[in-house]
């Protein structure tokens, strides 16, 4: 048996967040709601028909000009001023984030994240061998004052200062929290003061059920310290694999040079151009909001019925519900018992980059039908009672 | 102006190989021949129509099972025995190579390459901050004995041994050379003896105009020391962005964990499944061979007429012609003068990871029409004579 000489980062092995236990109700998947997946037959036919030479050829490194223009129009609604040179098309916001890490971080560099943070971002950051400075989050979102205190201490101690901050300020994954305007301003001040770059990952921004829209951090950025990461995965379809990074033109160009694959998929990019130009995208977003609000409400109601011990905050948008179980509850074990009962959720452990409190779980309400949400949480309730019984017996 | 704190690898800036001078005849582009781009309207319509839930959703991390099976069938013709677990679907062989680098290499590790080697692979390797051990190439291909000597010395000196070898054994990019069977066997022996992994990049293998097929290195691998990198870019279309890595199941799984983007593009993957299952791919390959042979012959004839001083070896397949100019010729300057005349070629400098001899150029005959090949080399001849005049005047 060959003993391969892997890089350190290859120690990350084990379960992918894309693996699901077969035959279970998948409450662990932030995949799209199947009945809402867009019909793109017309757009695809055009892309590979009259536009075949574009669709079947290598795309420009930065992405299609038409798409970069449409993305500028799209984010203008968020108050973000961008020109084509500020936009890099990628395979989704995850790959855009990966390019930002490649552009800024050496192994051992520090990235600022919320505690907890997006599990797949943790995975990607681990492949870069970075360290995590994890910062708390409350009902106002990212605890910018905790960060300010910690940075001041680090600077005093002449420690190596963080280079990047990753956050999902709107309908945070996993907690669903939206960061307040005051906190966002403070985050930006700190980025400018300590010269780190904020990766503002905003896939759920348009999937708002209620409450006031809060300006994106990027819309307040005058110094290039914010890279806005976007994707069509939640506003159109994940399968299109089209996302983007918006930032300072020099930063964006450097990020482009880190792409291993050239100009990505012209074919899917053209489909997205057509969907953005037509009313299909706007209609699709309205539909998603309609369904996701119902899904959220059903899941919260099911928790009240089957697992009332869980502490839950209703998110104003997005795909996820985050639950705190009573102290000392073993969330990892609950996940296992859930699979035995036929429901799959995510342990909070995946979302804590450093220490896991051990009693948090994440549920997605995006992918499954309302009946399965009810049924899934009922099964989770059964698993929860089993966990209680086992804990008492131990 | 913000002074961003970039990672070291971000020093790689400047011209992308995907940028072309507008209005010139692009002899620097390994893009596909436009008249041969496949018609996939039927396949695309099926993928986004009846199979919409697959196409528009996140794909499985390893790629579609159906595609992994088809890839196994496809490479079986090359004598490669692979099961589904040995196959990872990627966005092309470049992204597969990037994943191999992520899986094996730390910054400062050494990668073995030919001198010269594929320019985009050099670019990707530079983003990993690796060092290059460059090995010569002659008409038999990779100089395995030079490598054997160098490795023996490095081992004696207790130096850090290379972890990876990158090569294009069939119709090498840029030189067009095909490595002999004896050399391939010796490369594999050395990989096993010194425990490094060979990334065998084989995009052009099926685009053979003449001569005997030589077994792939992967087909002789019994220890998992070879990762075969494949793509549909040359046998179907670059725009599909579908490629793969084939290797030891444990290595492949680790490579999958390095993906930042999850399961890539189900949509394009399904189109490729359908094309591989039908006779369309085989027909397309036959067409490509037909046209590329004509293109090669025309380009060689044009060199004989307009730039006979260039030393050229006719490749038996693939997309590229490599030319040695007389010693002391300034290839970089020739590239500039060529653009002034309206033709764009690549300087050999991009293909030499360490020292550039300075007098090599690379031409691609894949992308352009026969008339433009003739016209382009004629323009290059004009530029060449200007270069001679300037050199004499200096």
Concatenating the DSSP letter of every residue in A119-184 gives: HHHHHHHHHTT-EEEEE-EETTEE-HHHHHHHHHHHHHTTPPPP-EEEE--SS-TTT-----HHHH
Predicted local confidence at residue B310, as pLDDT: 98
* A265/B265 CB distance under 8 A: yes
How many Å apart are CA A240 and CA A236, to the nearest integer? 8
For A313, counting Cβ atoms within 10 Å of its Cβ (0-12 exposed, 13-18 middle, 19+ buried), the class is: middle
Which two tokens mark A257?
Answer: 């040079």
Q: Under DSSP, is residue B368 helix (H, G, I), strand (E, B) or coil?
A: coil
Sorted by sequence, the CB contacts under 8 Å of residue A231 that are 6+ apart come out as A92, A93, A94, A96, A203, A242, A243, A244
Give exposure, B125-137, as e/b (b: 16+ Cβ within 10 Å).
bebbbbebbbbeb
Q: Is B4 on the interface with A (CB under 8 A)?
A: yes
Residue B21 has pLDDT above 80, yes or no: no
Share of chain B above pLDDT 70, in %: 98
* A106/B40 CB distance under 8 A: no
For A370, counting Cβ atoms within 10 Å of its Cβ (0-12 exposed, 13-18 middle, 19+ buried), the class is: middle
Q: For residue A45, give the nearest of B34, B44, B268 by CB distance.
A: B44
Neighbours of A157 (CB within 10 A): 7
pLDDT in tens, B354-391: 999 999 999 999 999 999 999 999 999 999 999 999 98
Tell me which DSSP letter residue A59 carries.
P
Sorted by sequence, the CB contacts under 8 Å of residue A152 that are 6+ apart come out as none
For A285, counting Cβ atoms within 10 Å of its Cβ (0-12 exposed, 13-18 middle, 19+ buried), the class is: middle
Q: At what angle are helices A266-277 and A41-48 packed, to 10 degrees?
A: 130
pLDDT in tens, B66-109: 999 999 999 999 999 999 999 999 999 999 999 999 999 999 99
Cβ contact B277:B62 at 8 Å: no
How far does the CA of residue A50 sit from the closest CA of chain B (Å)? 10
* A237/B54 CB distance under 8 A: no
Interface test with B, best of A3, A7, A93 (most B CBs within 10 A): A7
What sign has the CA pseudo-torsion B70, B73, B77, B80? positive
Interface of B with A in 58-97 (CB under 8 A): 58-61, 91-92, 94-95, 97
* A127/B258 CB distance under 8 A: yes
Q: Is B35 on the interface with A (CB under 8 A)?
A: no
Q: Is B136 on the interface with A (CB under 8 A)?
A: no
How far does the CA of residue A393 sit from the closest CA of chain B (Å)? 38
> Tokens 């196409």 belong to which residue?
B55
- pLDDT tier at B14, thresholds 50, 70, 90: low
pLDDT in tens, B168-211: 999 999 999 999 999 999 999 999 999 999 999 999 999 999 99
- Lowest-confidence segment of A64-78, B11-25, B327-341 by average pLDDT: B11-25
Report the half-sphere exposure of B3 (CA within 13 A, side-chain side). 2
Question: How many angstroms from the chain centroid is the CA of residue A124?
Answer: 12
> Tokens 């040179």 belong to which residue?
A85
pLDDT in tens, A281-333: 999 999 999 999 999 999 999 999 999 999 999 999 999 999 999 999 999 99
* A241/B223 CB distance under 8 A: no
Q: Under DSSP, is residue A361 helix (H, G, I), strand (E, B) or coil?
A: strand
Predicted local confidence at residue A13, as pLDDT: 64
Report the half-sphere exposure of B190 (CA within 13 A, side-chain side). 26
Backbone angles phi, psi at B88, to 5 degrees: -115, 125
How many CB pairs lie under 8 A apart between chains A and B? Answer: 241
Sorted by sequence, the CB contacts under 8 Å of residue B123 that are 6+ apart come out as A257, B12, B17
Cβ contact A100:A164 at 8 Å: yes
Predicted local confidence at residue A254, as pLDDT: 94
- Chain A hits for B125, CB-CB cut-off 8 Å, are none
Nearest CA in chain A to B99: A260
Residue B142 has pLDDT above 90, yes or no: yes
How far does the CA of residue B391 sit from the closest CA of chain A (Å)? 34
Q: For residue A41, give the nearest of B14, B48, B120 by CB distance.
A: B48
- Lowest-confidence segment of A39-48, B18-27, B233-242 by average pLDDT: B18-27
Q: Under DSSP, is residue B370 helix (H, G, I), strand (E, B) or coil?
A: helix
- Rounded to 5°, the CA angle B98-A200-A235 comes to 85
* B40/A48 CB distance under 8 A: yes
How many Å apart are CA A45 and CA A268, to the nearest integer? 11
Low-confidence ranges of chain A (pLDDT < 70): 13-19
Closest to B323 measured CA to CA, from B346, B343, B340: B346
* A6/B103 CB distance under 8 A: yes
Q: Is A163 on the interface with B (CB under 8 A)?
A: yes
Cβ contact B89:B276 at 8 Å: no
Sorted by sequence, the CB contacts under 8 Å of residue A94 that are 6+ apart come out as A120, A121, A124, A231, A243, B260, B261, B262
Q: For residue A13, give the nearest of B2, B6, B253 by CB distance.
A: B253
- Chain A hits for B41, CB-CB cut-off 8 Å, are 45, 48-49
Instruction: Read off the pLDDT of each residue in B42-63 and give the average, rounded to a whole number.
Output: 95
* B2/A224 CB distance under 8 A: yes
- Chain A hits for B223, CB-CB cut-off 8 Å, are 2
Predicted local confidence at residue B18, as pLDDT: 59
Q: For residue B241, give the nearest of A94, A124, A264 by CB distance.
A: A264
Delineate the domains of chain B, giving CATH numbers in brackets: 15-30+282-393 (3.90.1150.10), 41-278 (3.40.640.10)
Predicted local confidence at residue A279, as pLDDT: 87
Nearest CA in chain B to A271: B48
Residue B3 has pLDDT above 80, yes or no: yes
- Chain B hits for A104, CB-CB cut-off 8 Å, are 4-7, 10
Q: Are strands B87-90 and B110-114 parallel, antiparallel or unpaired?
A: unpaired
* B10/A58 CB distance under 8 A: no
How many Å apart are CA A198 and CA A218, to the nearest integer? 9
pLDDT in tens, B346-358: 999 999 999 999 9
pLDDT in tens, B267-322: 999 999 999 999 899 999 999 999 999 999 999 999 999 999 999 999 999 999 99
What does the H/E/C string look like for B267-280?
A: HHHHHHHHHHHCCH
Sorted by sequence, the CB contacts under 8 Å of residue B310 that are 6+ apart come out as B303, B323, B324, B325, B361
* A109/B7 CB distance under 8 A: yes
Give the number of residues written for chain A: 394
* A9/B102 CB distance under 8 A: yes
- Chain B hits for A6, CB-CB cut-off 8 Å, are 103-104, 254
Q: Is B127 on the interface with A (CB under 8 A)?
A: yes
Predicted local confidence at residue A17, as pLDDT: 58
How far does the CA of residue B293 sit from the closest CA of chain A (Å)? 20
Interface test with B, best of A1, A3, A4 (most B CBs within 10 A): A4
Cβ contact A299:A363 at 8 Å: yes
């Amino acid at each position: 048996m060959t003993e391969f000489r892997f890089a350190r980062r290859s120690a990350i092995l084990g379960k992918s967040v894309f693996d699901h236990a077969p035959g279970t109700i998948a409450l662990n998947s932030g995949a799209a709601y199947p009945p809402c997946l867009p019909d793109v037959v017309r757009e695809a036919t055009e892309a590979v028909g009259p536009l075949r030479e574009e669709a079947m050829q290598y795309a420009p490194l930065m992405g299609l000009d038409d798409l970069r223009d449409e993305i500028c129009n799209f984010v203008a609604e968020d108050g973000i001023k961008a020109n084509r040179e500020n936009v890099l098309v990628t395979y989704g916001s995850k790959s855009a984030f990966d390019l930002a890490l490649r552009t800024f971080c050496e192994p051992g560099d520090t990235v600022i994240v919320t505690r907890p943070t997006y599990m797949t971002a943790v995975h990607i950051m681990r492949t870069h061998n970075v360290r995590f400075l994890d910062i708390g989050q409350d009902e106002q979102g990212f605890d910018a004052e905790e960060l300010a205190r910690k940075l001041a201490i680090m600077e005093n101690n002449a420690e190596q200062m963080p280079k990047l901050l990753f956050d999902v300020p709107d309908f945070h994954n996993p907690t669903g929290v939206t960061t307040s305007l005051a906190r966002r301003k403070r985050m930006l001040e700190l980025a400018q003061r300590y010269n780190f770059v904020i990766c503002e990952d905003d896939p759920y921004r348009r999937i708002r059920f209620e409450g006031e829209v809060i300006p994106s951090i990027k819309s307040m950025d005058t110094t290039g310290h914010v890279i806005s990461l976007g994707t069509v995965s939640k506003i159109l379809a994940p399968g299109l694999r089209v996302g983007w990074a918006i930032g300072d033109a020099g930063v964006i160009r450097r990020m482009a040079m880190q792409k291993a694959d050239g100009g990505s998929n012209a074919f899917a990019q053209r489909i997205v151009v057509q969907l953005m130009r037509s009313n299909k995208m706007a209609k699709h977003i309205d539909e998603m909001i309609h369904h996701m609000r119902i899904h959220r409400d059903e899941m919260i109601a099911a928790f009240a019925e089957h697992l009332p011990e869980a502490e839950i905050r209703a998110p104003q948008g997005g795909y996820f519900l985050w639950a705190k179980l009573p102290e000392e509850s073993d969330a990892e074990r609950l996940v296992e018992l859930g699979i035995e009962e036929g429901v799959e959720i995510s342990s909070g452990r995946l979302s804590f980059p450093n220490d896991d409190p051990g009693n948090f779980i994440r549920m997605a309400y995006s992918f499954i039908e309302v009946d399965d949400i009810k049924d899934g949480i009922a099964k989770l309730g059964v698993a929860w009672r089993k966990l209680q019984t086992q804990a008492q017996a131990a």
